Structure 1
């Protein structure tokens, strides 16, 4: 009851409840004279004597709210001083004790309140366009994001922040007018190609000892700022533009079949992230010898060639179109367009063994439809005209060969053993000759 009475008197008379100068004993119940609240601290308790009742008050009473008006500078100063006192108490309280945990929780609330005072929330538009960025206002309250401009934590509970829908650039609302880097997606749209030289370093002197992006002064000794090299561009960046993120480097994959992530700057990381699924790597032109040393690449190339031979069956088959069989490759659309273009994600999946398993399963499904399930597709098979024996042949069968001129299908052994020309090509040649003779007679 004594605690409740003191708390009620505090609410009525604005007396500081943490002022220990008031007697704890049997004081009369007359309203105490109004005392001026000490601006320097919210409590003056000795460091080793923290009462449970003081800790119970905490922030539940909202001592920082005012009936009217907004916060002024003195409130910020009081909060900063109170935060320092809480820090000292946390260090002196027994570790892992309940009182220490309570104090830590209250310290966090105080810091959030201080951040709210320093950066008050304002009405912000939901969409903003800046330097080809299309920023969308975020509603997430997560506190695990980091501003790409100022490199500080985004307090989603109390701060307004935006994310670019194109390159996923995140920043505070207050940092948007300071952005100098255009959206990386525009670069991907206009220049869809990789740097294919391994870490093409040019040296700090060529950069005038400045960050390649923001032009801040840097040096290898860390004075005034540490120089960090991007393994993708080979250039040096400051700690604000290079966060030691890691990514797989395309040049190292193509030339060395190396998939160990290397440190890259923020802009390179976003560019590689957006480019990872784009089929822009023509391996047989960049490094054709890679197929001689990586057996998985040869297997994938054969499966892709078979799928291209199956495609004409599906686009002329009503059942296949209704079943949308080709949509099984919708995440790798280039697989039904050519057999020589690869994306970086394709090579990563080949290295991990995932692509071989998934593509083999799709290949089996396609072959089953053509050879077993669909009568229309079966009717488009071939009979070997050289031996005229055996089952119906299809161009994607492993034991067959296809004529390059007329696309007729034969047994592989029959095709290579036969020294004459293709029977179908010969028949077509004779037919054209007869037509020409008939026209000559007319």
Structure 2
């Protein structure tokens, strides 16, 4: 006798062409996030674009090739993004893309009230009990499944199965498209000498047995590598990258001193390469949970030494942080920065750290400025700013003291001009 769930799974299988034919003009389609964005579904959506008009795609891109952002997709496909990207430049220029500034922790609330027509997710094949696995990214996928009118799942046989809140039963999915293809990946970049120096300074701020959150990119990987002499570190982060594996294998990351989720690395997404995805497959050391847990201040407050380490595009001399936009369109987004910065403030002995190179554009522009044009994180929430020139300690400092601290970590070529602008106040 065939299990009831098996029949449901078989009956709801469709070709990718049939699945995408369910989408009609003016539909609102929301995509699962980061490297779990389902590419087979999106490639077919692009192929069918000419029969559609004013379809809005909501995305959260890191690792995505943004196949739907090519010029030929406009005006058929419109984009609303929670995270900007240089790959969306053409879409912005064609007025086919707009940015939604929102803390990652609050996207589930947005979804509950957004009346989405279609959700695209990517999962593993079901297990013997009929549960698919969200694999490398949970983020707000459960909210999509609960709130969207129709859920279309790309069932990828190469998706790993991970622990945590990662299970989705086949009965909760309306349509299945079976695929087998490599997952999107983000390879580790080569660190610059400046990034290595920043990593060394950040390491000075991280005590043994701390629980850390670190962002993405070559600078973040440099910071992780600089922690190799630490002992008993824990991970509670938005993402985990390949660089973390090395510290686990060296015995640096043990998670044994965490007050909650002891002996577990907790995140909401894996953003790395096949090495990371295979490492995470059926590995009880790693748990993935929704952003409502990973990015929640009440969770962070239970961790006694929670250290949040994020980056920025610019910092002004009061400590205001711009992590979103320089120029005519967003390059990044709010993401989880404010969630984790405030979480560090709620943690006993926690610290919020912003790390960034002192200059941009080949050393021709200072990233430390008299003022920034966009504010992502507030000066009152940031404890430290780190560049390759040192550590600026901001917590409890006056505006003038903050300016002095930040001038000291600015590139020497720009300090006199910055000091002159401060003295004009």
Instruction: State the TM bucket, normalised to the shorter chain.
Output: under 0.3
The structure with the greater share of residues assigned to helix is 1
Larger Rg: 1
The structure with the greater share of residues assigned to strand is 2
> Which structure has more RCO (C-alpha within 8 Å, separation ≥ 6)?
2
Structure 1 length as normaliser, TM-score? 0.21
Structure 2 length as normaliser, TM-score? 0.22
